[in-house]
Structure 1
Amino acid sequence: MRLSQFFEQTPVQHVQNYWNSRPCNIRHSTKPVGSREYFDEVEARKHFVEPHIPGFAEFDRWQGKKVLEIGSGIGTAMINFARSGAQVTAVDLSDKSLELAKQRAQVYGLEDQISFYQANAEELSQYVPIDTYDLVYSFGVIHHTPHPERVIDQIRQYVKPGSTVKIMVYYRYSWKVLWILLTYGKGQFWRLNELVATYSEAQEGCPVTYIYSKPEAKALLNGFEIVDMQVDHIFPYYIPDYKQYKYTKEWYFRWMPQPLFRWLEQHFGWHLCITARVPE
């Protein structure tokens, strides 16, 4: 069965319900939710575990520019773009996530630089006024919607020649996929689509999770000029300890030399980070 056939019948409402039940990264801090201390800790933890994000996003590069973020979640990237001087349009399917993102903007005094829209990204133009942006950014988002190709088609309406598109999707040939297959699937490769969706996120049971090879990602972005495509990120920590805010590495990563671990991340990482541009 093709991956699209496995997921394309999933109602978007199921995806919304899932992310409303536990917005991404909401448990990255034990401080009072919505406080400045909470948001500071959420950001610090996210960038500690995923240190490649600032380099990929290039936050400072977009000073004075217009940024459209599709799937802003609770606003970690959003606030960094705004803090760097960008004018940001933040879009998310989850109203619970947007509530926290709006609160975050107020806490940091950046609400004048950010516009918020609750929207299904597959139908973006029905919710977000058509405009052109210097950057369209979507990190770990469009692989969770039933029809990712529709999101890309919507993005085409918000860019101009020279615009940049930065997208992260999950990588098919990653350590994470192998780990899910062996740990939860006991090698039942014919259940891979179901298994990856179920165990791709911190909270089990994500309704939709696509995974992409590099050629599949290029095909998804047909018409855009691929500037860079990098694989990165392996989560090395023992999950029960991590949930208690302890950073204990799995035994098989604990004694691995850092250069070897980085080699693994850059070849078998979970994140396929793509930078593309609109041809002149």
Structure 2
Amino acid sequence: MESALRQFAGKSIEDVRAYWNARPCNIRHSTKPLGTREYFDEVESRKYFVEPHIPRFAEFERWKGKKVLEIGCGIGTDTMNFARAGAMVTAVDLSDESLQVARKRAEVLGLQSSITFIQANAERLSEYVPVETYDLVYSFGVIHHTPHPENVIREIHKYMGSQSELKIMVYNRYSWKVLWILLKYGKGAFWKLDELVAKYSEAQTGCPVTYTYSRKSVKDLLHGFTVTRIIVDHIFPYSIQQYKQHKYKKVWYFAVLPKLVFRILEKTAGWHMCINAKLDKE
């Protein structure tokens, strides 16, 4: 983690905002006209087809009648499912372009009354979002993209009570994807690992900040929290070029791998580290 801190020392929140404004996450998951019901339905279908562990982790139905704070909502796929399930959602994102799409999505799906959208820098969340206690604070694949993730964690404390739950996903350092990036793009240059992972961590190359975590370092990050569960999941098995054409053809080495073996690999070397936590008892 020390090398990553040095690597990203010169990166700013504005660098991160510009990157996600240029291409909001999952924006190209559909070829239908942007903003239509058909577009949003296809975006959701594709996302949960390749990442079926997300609904299991989020447990959308569990939060009916509860207050959910989502940090980094993107274009709102999980946001809509919390709202559909009956939660009252406050959805925060740094990218105004992402929020524009998410707001349109809520309008098209008739969920505006259940969601409050706020543009905010999560490292200074309490300057944007009134401090109150939420039943769930949820952040999937976001905190590792901000220059100072520890600041986000400190802010999250303010929105949690003794019964609140935190669910976050951060990237797993000891994962197949990190190894794949190191071998494919770095040619084994492990001393450039943090730079390589950031550059190739997302569909659009050049992400300015991407931290990765081990089980130990994520517990260090979550200072003031008791981690109740950590699950590792998700390896993307498809040919990227085929996937861009909306075709699902597995690369040869995953195509020949038995499903059970692939699932074991996902559970041990998956890219997504999903963490459940609660505030430490005083």
Report the TM-score when normalising by structure 2: 0.98
Q: Count residues with an aligned counterpart.
A: 280
Give the aligned partner of residue 223 of structure 1.
Answer: 224
Superposed displacement of residue 11, structure 1: 1.1
Q: Does 1:247 pair with 2:248? A: yes
SS at match of 2:168: strand
For residues 170-189 of structure 1, give each alpha carbon's deviation from its aligned partner in whole angstroms, at most 9, with x where no partner exists.
00000000000000000000
Partner SS state of residue 19, structure 2:
helix
Match of 1:134 in 2: 135
Q: Tell me which residue corresponds to 1:115.
A: 116
Deviation at 1:3, TM superposition (A): 1.4
Distance 1:275 1:38 in 2: 32
CA distance in 2, matches of 1:96, 1:106: 16
Q: For each residue in 1:28-85, what CA deviation from the matched residue of structure 2 results, as whole angstroms up to 9, or x when unmatched?
A: 0011101111000000000000000000000000000000000000000000000000
Confirm or deny: 8 A CA contact 1:8 1:147 kept in the other structure: no
- Alpha-carbon contact 2:40-2:105 (below 8 Å) kept: yes
CA apart distance, 1:278? 2.2
Name the structure 1 match of 2:262: 261
1:44 aligned partner: 45
1:218-252 deviations in Å (ceiling 9; x for gaps): 11112211111010000000010000000000000
Q: What does 1:69-84 align with in structure 2 at a 5 Å threshold? A: 69-84=70-85
User: Runs of 5+ in structure 2 lacking a partner?
Assistant: none
Show structure 1 runs of 5+ residues with no match.
none
AA partner of residue 241 (structure 1): Q
Root-mean-square deviation over aligned CA pairs: 0.8
The answer to whether the aligner puts 1:93 opposite 2:94 as a matched pair is yes
Equivalent AA in structure 2 for residue 39 of structure 1 = F
Q: 1:61 maps to what in 2?
A: 62
SS at match of 1:210: coil
1:4 is displaced (CA, Å) by: 1.2
Alignment check: 8 A CA contact 2:3 2:194 kept: no
The answer as to 2:17 corresponding to 1:16 is yes
- The alpha carbon displacement at 1:255 in A equals 1.1
User: CA contact under 8 A between 1:162 and 1:279: conserved in structure 2?
Assistant: no
Q: In structure 2, what is the equivalent of residue 173 of structure 1?
A: 174
| SS in structure 1 at match of 2:161 | coil
Instruction: Confirm or deny: 8 A CA contact 1:160 1:278 kept in the other structure.
Output: yes
Contact preservation (8 Å) 1:171, 1:212: yes
2:217 counterpart letter in structure 1: E
Name the CA distance, whole Å, in 2 between partners of 1:71 and 1:278.
21
Per-residue CA distance 1:97-128 (angstroms, 9 max, x = gap): 00010001111111011001100100101111
More displaced stretch, 150-159 vs 1-10: 1-10
Alignment partners' CA distance in 1, 2:112 and 2:255? 42
Cα deviation code 1:110-148 (max 9, x no counterpart):
101100110010010111111110000000000000000
The offset of 1:279, in angstroms, is 4.1
Aligned to 1:237: 238
In 1, Cα distance between the equivalents of 2:10 and 2:161?
A: 32
SS of residue in 1 equivalent to 2:92: strand
In structure 1, how many angstroms separate the alpha carbons of the residues matched to 2:5 and 2:163?
Answer: 31
The 1-side partners of 2:102 and 2:42 are apart by 15
How many Å separate the matches in 2 of 1:166 and 1:4? Answer: 24
Where do residues 30-41 of structure 1 align in structure 2 (5 Å cutoff)? 30-41=31-42
**Aligned-partner residue type, residue 164 of structure 1:** E
Residue 154 (str. 1) matches residue 158 (str. 2): no
**Letter paired with 2:78:** A
- Corresponding position of 2:203: 202
Partner of 1:125: 126
What is the identity, as a one-letter code, of the residue corresponding to 1:21?
A
- Which segment is superposed worse, 237-246 or 220-229? 220-229
